[in-house]
Structure 1
Amino acid sequence: MARSNSVSLGAKYLLSPTSVNEVTGFSFGEYKNGGFTMVSKVGCAMVTAMGATLLEVEADVSGGLPDIEMTGNLGSSVKDGRERIRVAIKKCGYPFPQGRVTINIAPAAMRKEGTGFDLAVACAILEEIGIIVEDKLKSRIVIGELGLDGAVIGVRGVLPAVLEAKKQGYAGCIVPAANYSEALMVPEIEIIPVQHLSELVDEQDDGKYCEVIDANAVCDRCSDEDKVNPDYSDIYGQEYAKKAMLTAVAGRHNILLMGPPGAGKTMLVSRIPTIMPGMSKNEQLELACIYSIAGKLGGRPDMSVRPFRAPHHSITSAALIGGGRLVEPGEVSLASKGVLFLDELTRFDTRVVEQLREPLESGRIVINRITGSCELPADFMLATAINPCACGFYPDRTRCRCTTWDVNKHYGRISRPILDRIDISISLQRVSFDELIGKNVASEEIKGERRMDEKTGAGDRRKADENAGKRTDEDGDMQTVIGNFDSSNMRKIVERVWRVQQERLGEGRYNSRMTNDEIKKYCRLDDISEKLMREAYDVYGLSARGAQGGAYIGGYRWSGECGGAACARGVELQGEG
């Protein structure tokens, strides 16, 4: 049966499209090919903790009392956008339909939350009434929040949305100008920044959108803080502790520092990023997606620098691990590929710290909710610092006021399973005045090495490492790398060690993630090391996990990965703890 080209508004009248417009006072849609284009569709995106999901906004304008109805299993944050959209369209000088406007965000089976749908909904309405040219937004994703004056406001999660759009073959994305720089991180897809709703309506003669804005002008990622470059050379004394930090970073091992207040624990840990090699492009993109979802990407001026997160001890489980009603990445995910520093570990809530067991073991965190579960990356290096007791002066009984019960209670706040996952522990002593003013540092280091040799019987091995302060690099140049503990030299060592590990274990894998078979293959201990490990295993009651940790850290010494004596012996460090 042929379709009628008229519209019935009741039993008495049969009106043409033109008379419908005259009666209702709004454009009913364009009449084409013997039928009406009843619904306009615009692509959009919803951001979750796991990434972005592409959706579609459908808009229909029909006769009836003026109203805006939004459907599609929408949260309150989405529905609240109705008035923002209506006012923004009017403030831009465009007529708002004087009839029933129905908006659906499909698929309806998925719960929608967030404010990033505003711009897509406004575009769908304007396209439905003919203000925006039909098919102008075809094969494009529209993302953004609207202000009452029509300004397009930046939203979180633009980067994963653009990545997903590229993956599904979309031609381009229309994003807020505030999010333009992060969207540009995705190559080979057109990115169109907009600052106002009117920019999507007003076209130039050549049919192109508004002039592309310079990324540097949109989001200036340089700050005064970035000009401050802390260095390990700033720290006087604690040479043995610097070797421990070098060992930990070389294999991305978790480390615990114990010492009195003011010994330099925080300074040692805060400089770890300065000796870690930069991230690859894939790692930068993965981390940038996490920060974009969390709405913190603007706070990272340089994505090539590995993250350093140091939450306060009052942090909650949801903030550390991730979670909330709408699951968001926690500190363990924000620290992925970098360092998570828990200063004053014994001050943290024990229940919060215990939730680190899974991410420390697997490098991932799974968050379960009634609506489903999501898996987030948590591949971080854990660095912790504690005082030896509540007052901080134990075992100096001339100053310490804590009883034996107080000391045991202090250490009892850290469970054995957590300690098992910390590969290196080291005790720091109070820095002498000579070390503090930069004198006698070398002699103190030599004394410490001699004491360690006497303890382990490694004097013969020491003779073979007399020239350990120098090494021949791949270019054949002799460079001093030990004894001069500045971040630049330490970073060269770490870069060299990481290259060896990548070639041996594969991309993105480090010694801290070796399997049992790999430990047996690459971390063969000599007689001295095996004897020391046996004694440590019996005396300290190490678990199988702890013994394996000592084995692969001790393997640095004998495999020469850190340049002979450049690396402190990990087994000895565990004994010190």
Structure 2
Amino acid sequence: MLVKIYGSAVFGIEATTITVEVNIDKGIGYHLVGLPDNAVRESSYRISAALNNNGYKLPGKKIIINMAPADIRKEGASYDLTLAIGILASSNQIQSKEIDQYVIMGELSLDGSLQPIKGALPIAIKAREEGFKYLILPKENAKEAAIVDNLEVLGVDNILEVINHFDNNKKIEPTIVDTRAEFYKHIDFPEFDFSDVKGQESIKRCMEIAAAGGHNIILIGPPGSGKTMLAKRLPSILPPMTLHEALETTKIHSVVGKTKNEGLLYNRPFRSPHHTISNVALVGGGQYPRPGEISLSHNGVLFLDELPEFKRDVLEVMRQPLEDREVTISRAKFTVTYPSSFMLVASMNPSPSGYFNDPNAPITSSPAEMQRYLSKVSGPLLDRIDIHIEVTPVPFDKLSDERKGENSKSIRERVTKAREKQSTRFNDFENIHYNAQMNVKQIREFCKLSEESKQLLKTAMEKLNLSARAYDRILKVSRTIADLDAANNIDSNHIAEAIQYRSLDREGWLG
């Protein structure tokens, strides 16, 4: 008897429906075709043990299973449940009425219990698009998949629950999530707050500007000056994610299996990879491409601590994603594109010893050593970072001050107002939502300068020997500063402040 049952494969952050055709006929043997990988081929052993341990059996006949389309590689053990139910339906061990209305996915243990799968959200979205009524998958993934409306998500712990559901012995209760209510209920600040930071008012101002315009920022300062502490608190002043951003971010994390039992991600991601990371782990890739750290930090913050310690080739592969806000990974047979619109926050010491022009420092470095250390970070990469700021150590009287600084909630309100102003400005432009995303055309349109401001910028360009890209960065940052001031036009004081935030462009920065 021939039975068709449906599963799903995830490529990039999109899913493709897989038709599993199970035919049981006279003879002997188990034949699985349709470009399965080793994990899928091994499914026969898991299925046989799971069925035997639950009072069912693998038919002693000729079983032919085709997974179509045959030109798409099927990976992983998440097809176990699909194949098992297909075999039971084809051998008349369960009723197969309306089975074509289901997408079924799950990895089987030998006792018949189910392990969670990756990519539940993209699979649910695709199932709804293609008109399926039901999605059966492990209970741990049910909350995530139930974000999708107009689809009944049935979470199960064991294959017996699925068998009883089809035999009408005991129907599975659908998992119901009110996505909007859950989303707005859980929007909250992360555990870190700017009120914990003592002193550093000028750096807080920089972080506020960076958050308001979505600008990349690099913090340069000696050990213990608070660079990491400030970076960890940046997500707390970013505007809350929109529902669209939350869904997009959850899809990426779902593909790598980082949303188990959590459902929708409510807070902006903060990723901080170690400096030993490879370029594939950072931007994504591998034989069967997976998202890297830059995609996992989409709509959030990527923090690179001790930037010069990262391998140079690892940093260089970020240059194109920083500009295009997406990364495309090409293989001979297919190409996948992952979104990577993140805020880059980097930190570094100004010298190998960590101390910069400090006569009281326990260790000092020569200007040549400092230059060699700074040259580990390429000029083109620094050009793509809008704000460079020096972080100085906090004096004792500030550290011992018991008074709390301004909290994240107050800063976030100003940032959100500035972002709203930008959203209105870029309403007619697709994929541009804040100042850092402006291209040359928008910069010329929205960053017009008075003669006084032009003269000031010209002087700075000539004296600091700034590149054309640095010129555009200054204009973008000055536009953000004007937005925070609720000003329609960019004034000379906005330009002057923006110029201050190009520390690493200055000639003679090393003293």
Task: Output the TM-score relative to the length of structure 2.
Answer: 0.90
CA distance in 1, matches of 2:424, 2:358: 47
1:517 pairs, out of 426, 441, 444, with: 441
Q: Which residue of 1 aligns with 2:421?
A: 500
Superposition pairs of residues 83-98 of structure 1, within 5 angstroms: 83-98=45-60
Tell me by how many angstroms 1:281 deviates.
1.3
Tell me by how many angstroms 1:300 deviates.
6.3
Tell me by how many angstroms 1:209 deviates.
2.0
Tell me by how many angstroms 1:236 deviates.
0.6
Shift of the 494–557 alpha-carbon distance from structure 1 to 2, 3 Å rule, reads: closer
Question: Is residue 414 of structure 1 aligned with residue 342 of structure 2?
Answer: no
- My pick for the range that moved more, 147-156 or 94-103, is 94-103
1:163 pairs, out of 125, 130, 151, with: 125
Shift of the 349–280 alpha-carbon distance from structure 1 to 2, 3 Å rule, reads: same
CA distance in 1, matches of 2:262, 2:222: 33
Residues 443-480 of structure 1, C-alpha deviation per residue, up to 9 Å, x if partnerless?
xxxxxxxxxxxxxxxxxxxxxxxxxxxxxxxxxxxxxx
Which amino acid counterpart does residue 399 of structure 2 have in structure 1? L
Identical-pair percentage? 34
Question: Is residue 145 of structure 1 aligned with residue 118 of structure 2?
Answer: no
Tell me by how many angstroms 1:402 deviates.
1.8
Tell me by how many angstroms 1:524 deviates.
2.6
Which amino acid counterpart does residue 104 of structure 2 have in structure 1? V
Residues 340-394 of structure 1, C-alpha deviation per residue, up to 9 Å, x if partnerless?
1101000000000001111110101011112221111000011100001011112
Which amino acid counterpart does residue 473 of structure 2 have in structure 1? G
1:187 pairs, out of 142, 149, 155, with: 149
Tell me by how many angstroms 1:50 deviates.
3.4
Shift of the 165–302 alpha-carbon distance from structure 1 to 2, 3 Å rule, reads: closer
Shift of the 433–566 alpha-carbon distance from structure 1 to 2, 3 Å rule, reads: farther
Q: Which residue of 1 aligns with 2:227?
A: 265
Superposition pairs of residues 358-397 of structure 1, within 5 angstroms: 358-397=320-359
CA distance in 2, matches of 1:511, 1:325: 36
The structure that has the greater radius of gyration is: 1
Q: Which residue of 1 aligns with 2:314?
A: 352
Tell me by how many angstroms 1:210 deviates.
2.3
- The answer on whether the counterparts of 1:556 and 1:562 sit within 8 Å (CA) in structure 2 is no
Residues 486-530 of structure 1, C-alpha deviation per residue, up to 9 Å, x if partnerless?
201100001101111111112751101113232233223345543
Shift of the 559–489 alpha-carbon distance from structure 1 to 2, 3 Å rule, reads: closer
Q: Which residue of 1 aligns with 2:272?
A: 310
Question: Is residue 230 of structure 1 aligned with residue 151 of structure 2?
Answer: no
Which amino acid counterpart does residue 540 of structure 1 have in structure 2? L
Gaps of 5+ in 1: 1-37, 442-483
Question: Is residue 45 of structure 1 aligned with residue 11 of structure 2?
Answer: no
- The answer on whether the counterparts of 1:61 and 1:99 sit within 8 Å (CA) in structure 2 is yes
Shift of the 109–559 alpha-carbon distance from structure 1 to 2, 3 Å rule, reads: closer
CA distance in 2, matches of 1:174, 1:558: 52
Which amino acid counterpart does residue 422 of structure 2 have in structure 1? Q
Residues 298-357 of structure 1, C-alpha deviation per residue, up to 9 Å, x if partnerless?
386862211111111011111100011111000000000111110100000000000111
CA distance in 1, matches of 2:472, 2:69: 50
CA distance in 2, matches of 1:561, 1:143: 53
Q: Which residue of 1 aligns with 2:82?
A: 120
Which amino acid counterpart does residue 253 of structure 1 have in structure 2? H
Secondary structure (helix, strand or coil) at the match of 2:112 reads coil
Secondary structure (helix, strand or coil) at the match of 1:549 reads helix
- The answer on whether the counterparts of 1:247 and 1:567 sit within 8 Å (CA) in structure 2 is no
CA distance in 2, matches of 1:162, 1:215: 13
Residues 140-169 of structure 1, C-alpha deviation per residue, up to 9 Å, x if partnerless?
100101111111211101110010111111
Q: Which residue of 2 aligns with 1:573?
A: 501
1:530 pairs, out of 445, 450, 454, with: 454
Shift of the 353–386 alpha-carbon distance from structure 1 to 2, 3 Å rule, reads: same
- My pick for the range that moved more, 160-169 or 523-532, is 523-532
CA distance in 1, matches of 2:86, 2:403: 73
Superposition pairs of residues 20-39 of structure 1, within 5 angstroms: 38-39=1-2
Q: Which residue of 2 aligns with 1:56?
A: 19
Aligned length: 490
Tell me by how many angstroms 1:135 deviates.
2.6
Residues 172-221 of structure 1, C-alpha deviation per residue, up to 9 Å, x if partnerless?
211111101101111111111111111122149977622346879xxx99
Tell me by how many angstroms 1:440 deviates.
10
Tell me by how many angstroms 1:116 deviates.
1.0
Residues 403-422 of structure 1, C-alpha deviation per residue, up to 9 Å, x if partnerless?
22211111011111101100
Which amino acid counterpart does residue 419 of structure 2 have in structure 1? W
Q: Which residue of 1 aligns with 2:65?
A: 103
- The answer on whether the counterparts of 2:435 and 2:480 sit within 8 Å (CA) in structure 1 is no
Q: Which residue of 1 aligns with 2:476?
A: 552
- The answer on whether the counterparts of 1:180 and 1:215 sit within 8 Å (CA) in structure 2 is no
Tell me by how many angstroms 1:279 deviates.
1.2
Q: Which residue of 2 aligns with 1:209?
A: 171
CA distance in 2, matches of 1:151, 1:558: 58
CA distance in 1, matches of 2:220, 2:243: 36
Tell me by how many angstroms 1:237 deviates.
0.6
Tell me by how many angstroms 1:136 deviates.
3.6
Shift of the 89–297 alpha-carbon distance from structure 1 to 2, 3 Å rule, reads: same
CA distance in 1, matches of 2:324, 2:478: 22
Shift of the 440–427 alpha-carbon distance from structure 1 to 2, 3 Å rule, reads: farther
Tell me by how many angstroms 1:545 deviates.
1.2
CA distance in 1, matches of 2:358, 2:291: 42
- The answer on whether the counterparts of 2:96 and 2:166 sit within 8 Å (CA) in structure 1 is no
Gaps of 5+ in 2: 506-511
CA distance in 2, matches of 1:238, 1:107: 59
Tell me by how many angstroms 1:428 deviates.
1.1
Question: Is residue 330 of structure 1 aligned with residue 292 of structure 2?
Answer: yes
- The answer on whether the counterparts of 2:8 and 2:103 sit within 8 Å (CA) in structure 1 is yes
Shift of the 391–311 alpha-carbon distance from structure 1 to 2, 3 Å rule, reads: same
Secondary structure (helix, strand or coil) at the match of 2:382 reads helix
Question: Is residue 82 of structure 1 aligned with residue 19 of structure 2?
Answer: no
CA distance in 2, matches of 1:205, 1:143: 19
Tell me by how many angstroms 1:562 deviates.
5.4
Question: Is residue 429 of structure 1 aligned with residue 392 of structure 2?
Answer: yes
- The answer on whether the counterparts of 2:220 and 2:347 sit within 8 Å (CA) in structure 1 is yes
CA distance in 1, matches of 2:319, 2:6: 41
Secondary structure (helix, strand or coil) at the match of 1:41 reads strand
- The answer on whether the counterparts of 1:242 and 1:485 sit within 8 Å (CA) in structure 2 is no
CA distance in 2, matches of 1:398, 1:307: 39
Q: Which residue of 1 aligns with 2:508?
A: none
- My pick for the range that moved more, 133-142 or 231-240, is 133-142
CA distance in 2, matches of 1:525, 1:159: 46
Q: Which residue of 2 aligns with 1:29?
A: none
Superposition pairs of residues 6-25 of structure 1, within 5 angstroms: none
Shift of the 436–146 alpha-carbon distance from structure 1 to 2, 3 Å rule, reads: same
